[in-house]
Amino acid sequence: MPALSRLKEIHFTERFMQNIDGLRHRTDNTKPSGSKINHVGEVRLDSIADSVNIGEAQPYTTKVEEVIQKISKGERISAEEGLVMYNEAPLLTLANLADQRRFQLHPERIITFVVDRNINYTNVCMSGCLFCAFYKVPKAESKDRQGYTQRSVEQGYVISKDSLRQKIEETIDLGGTQILLQGGMNPELDLDYYIDLLKYIKANFEIHIHGFSPPEISWLAEKSSLPIKETISILKNAGLDSIPGGGAEILCNEVREKVSPNKCTARQWLEVMETAHELELKSSATMMFGHIESPVHIFEHLDKIRSLQDRTGGFTAFIPWTFQPDNTRLSTTKIERDFINISCDNTDNHLITGEIEVTDKNPDKNLSTKKNKIRKASAVEYLRVLALSRIFLDNFDNIQASWVTQGDKIAQTALFYGANDMGSTMIEENVVASAGVDFMLPEKEIRRLIEEAGFKPRQRNCFYNLI
Ligand code: SF4
């Protein structure tokens, strides 16, 4: 019998009790009667529907039901099918599918976290990304490469050795195992600076250096007139241990050209990562969404990441987070949105509200023609994308919740939407804080959030090994 018909026959009370059973499963770690999982790789479709449709049964569309069938059989879904789920599937259906997938990969009910510190070695940057509230323009520059006048040069810095030493000592004293070393594209820093920085850290501390995202490496290679491969080799030989997935934003150039026109292209970002993986440097992958992209861009991004992971297996984790608009130029800049809906059927531009400056070549599209701000993506938007990341990225072991951008309660909720990792304790964080978001979570609080969600907290290292 088709799942949809079966769903309609289930009595409300029976479904309610099954949900209570499911909730009990979460808290006492016992397998419920009528287990939701038949065997690894197969999820019972009716159980998913049951837990979503308490009360009035909301039938799925045929397309959604077909994609659920594929997911329930453990089959890979396409970007188009991901888009169908994004646009049409109920939120709790996505949660349940992602949760089941997560438990298949991580049945041990452990949620991991890493103790580390973000160290930003310089805030001077000539990229001038419209979404960034962190950077300061180089002293010699009053305009970016596009000719736009940029902000004050007063607060630019390059970290001193004393400050660096103090920050790493504090990290180690707090049980930290790694530092996340990232900075702006500072034209006054050359390759020798980076080599010296890495060698200094390695000579003085036993700590993992997770450093230099693809835009920094791409910039450094160009500045040094070196191939990407040689640049990464030099950094690795100097002490670099792994590469963070920052600077990916949305890996579609039509979006990147609008929000970060001076940064590496999507192809260059992927090239840096593929080369690093070839050189046996692991990395993470990220996505910053909730700005001017459309849902189709999100799935193009996920598709590119998944394809690269198929080739190299070098990504340790995927970390999606949402754009934080405060203090950024993007929140107030007029964006020509004529490209937004070109390849997407969804005309409900829910990430952008109200009025926006538009030069719309598609008069059929229901876009306003005035100016407005981009607002923050909602928790629901974040959780939909998080759950679909877990479902779509079937070759990623680890999906990270972002408490830094979402806060503690949504991060805790994210543990039921496919996330199996709480990220870093972030003894120090500057970039998101510059955008007015200053959630702080000490290790003790991260442990409490994990435990109260019914999981076991465990510290891990950069490679997701438990320590
Ligand atoms: S996001 Fe990075 S590259 Fe872009 S302006 Fe900020 S520091 Fe520079």
pLDDT tens, position by position, 69-125: 999 999 999 999 999 999 999 999 999 999 999 999 999 999 999 999 999 999 999
Domain boundaries, the chain: 3-105, 110-332+373-459
* Element housing 85 (H / E): helix 79-88
Chain length of the chain: 467
- Is the pLDDT at 143 greater than 70, yes or no? no
pLDDT tens, position by position, 176-228: 999 999 999 999 999 999 999 999 999 999 999 999 999 999 999 999 999 99
Nearest atom in ligand 1 to 132's CA: 6
Tell how far the Cα of 170 is from the centroid of ligand 1, in angstroms: 26
Q: Which of 124, 263, 324, when mutated, tests ligand 1's pocket best, judged by the most ligand atoms within 8 Å of its CB?
A: 263
Q: Which amino acid is at 318?
A: F
DSSP state of 449: H
Mean pLDDT for the stretch of residues 222-247: 97
As to burial, measured by CB atoms within 10 angstroms (0-12 exposed, 13-18 middle, 19+ buried), residue 382 is: buried
Q: What is the residue with the minimal CA distance to atom 7 of ligand 1?
A: 184
pLDDT tens, position by position, 378-432: 999 999 999 999 999 999 999 999 998 899 999 999 999 999 999 988 776 666 5
- Is the pLDDT at 18 greater than 50, yes or no? no
Residue 43: phi, psi to the nearest 5? Answer: -110, 135
- Is the pLDDT at 326 greater than 90, yes or no? no
At 292 the pLDDT is 87
More reliable by pLDDT, 465 or 13:
465
Q: Measuring CA to CA, which residue among 453, 392, 393, 448 is closest to residue 425?
A: 448
Ligand 1: residues with CB < 6 A are 125, 127-129, 132, 134-135, 184-185, 215, 260, 263
Mean pLDDT for the stretch of residues 341-360: 32
Q: Measuring CA to CA, which residue among 87, 27, 24, 165 is closest to residue 453?
A: 27
Q: What is the residue with the minimal CA distance to atom 4 of ligand 1?
A: 129
Nearest atom in ligand 1 to 123's CA: 7
As to burial, measured by CB atoms within 10 angstroms (0-12 exposed, 13-18 middle, 19+ buried), residue 195 is: middle
Which residues does residue 318 pair with via DSSP β-bridges, in sequence order? 285, 399
As a whole number, the mean pLDDT across the chain is 80
Tell how far the Cα of 55 is from the centroid of ligand 1, in angstroms: 48
Q: Which of 122, 125, 131, when mutated, tests ligand 1's pocket best, judged by the most ligand atoms within 8 Å of its CB?
A: 125
Residues in contact with 378: Cβ distance below 8 Å, sequence separation at least 6, in sequence order: none
At 329 the pLDDT is 78
Q: Is 110-332+373-459 in CATH node 3.20.20.70?
A: yes
CB atoms within 10 A of CB 251: 22
Tell how far the Cα of 263 is from the centroid of ligand 1, in angstroms: 8
